[in-house]
Amino acid sequence: MSRICNDAGVRLYADVNLNHMASLSTAYYSSVSTNGVVRSSLNRTVNITDYHYPGVPFTKSDFHKFCIINNSVHAHEVRNCQKSGHPDLNHAQHGVKEKMILMLNHFLKMGVAGFRIDAAKHVWPKDMKVRFKLSFSSILDPTEYTPIGVVTEYLYAVKLANIINAKSAPLASLINWGPAMGFLSHQYALVFVDSHDTQRGLVSELSPDRVLTHKERTKYVIANVFMLAHPFGRLKRIMSSYHYFDGDVNRGAPRVSTDDSIRGPEFDANYQCTRASGWVCEHRWSVILNMISFANYFNGRNLRDGSVMYFQANGPNQIAFCRGHTAFVAINNDSERIFSKKLYTSLPPGTYCDVITGGLAPNSDGCLGRHLLVDEQSYAQLQLPVASHVKFTYAHRITNLNYGVLIVYVESKLREIH
């Protein structure tokens, strides 16, 4: 799989846990005895009570002494005690570090590009210093880990959701988006709108209604579009989900009923995942695909002329800004008013196709959706309708769903016919 993905230009990041071993849970084993001896899915005998994992091997001396985490912000407890009953590895032991490095090197030889370290806050930063490309999840103090790798910025998702939901501040407050909002510095931040954990409310510091998910399609698209249009964030992650009921947060991927194997996605005529297959496939949504191309345009060229300029607001929930002299972004998050205003775009004069509604036609002499006319002074008269706010369940029934966003850039300009 890694060879196929790498040949197609897709890089794989392995999700690994360096903090602990499996606990006495029937989710991991075919059978569990009362004395802690189990048969693993790999057909090995494991004695969890005695900290005996022969497949690695790990023995009792490789683990911290048993203790329980009573205070989730107390560094000593979080990093030395058991997380949810999982035997906690002692990374001060040379043998533990050695085996971890062997495992990570094995993944690298298999073709992965780097790692996401789960439960990273449960490992002391000094014990995490290995020479690999890393991203960290679930951090006590993010700045402790920035010398080692890129850190997942959970605050990003929460603040963006609160602004789009008009809970904490208006859309116009995005003028300060970045470290001024309390985020990590750009070069250390991996940003995202949601994750498998935040979708289900499984991040203890967050409540499930504080982040946006595919279940609120319009707002979710606005959030992802803004993330991909704005320069902040060294790495940006797009979620690709499967359906689950709100009360069933532990449900796994869609399964084949005959043999319980994972069911593959099925596609409609527009190459979107069908709801019947159980997959959401946000990464296939046309608006997300078009925005990834937009973001890659800036990333691939390392444009110095890509910073946010000429931030303009038309009331609290209608904003526009430029990315240097290369792109123009407008967002209408007002629930009633059309975004009607003459705005500075920083673009050369001409007609530009809106990326959100389709962009350029294949022959580059027409637009597949909305267009924007820029005059000789780089101004344009914007008419951006109110977004259509619908739940995901009904989104597929609406053609030309309006997201309240317009984005144009130099690559979406209509060619001039002389």
Domains delineated in the chain: 1-291 (3.20.20.80), 305-412 (2.60.40.1180)
Tell me what pLDDT residue 131 has: 44
φ, ψ for residue 309 (rounded to 5)?
Answer: -135, 155
Whole-prediction pTM value?
0.83
Q: With 50 as the cut, is the pLDDT of residue 146 above it?
A: yes
Tell me what pLDDT residue 43 has: 59
Tell me what pLDDT residue 204 has: 61
**Which of the residue ranges 2-6, 26-30, 252-256, 326-330 has the most confident prediction, judged by mean pLDDT?**
326-330
Which residue is listed with tokens 């053609």? 399
How far apart CA 351 and CA 370 sit, in angstroms, is 11
> Please, which pLDDT band fits residue 396 given cuts at 50, 70 and 90?
very low
State both tokens at 239: 């979620």
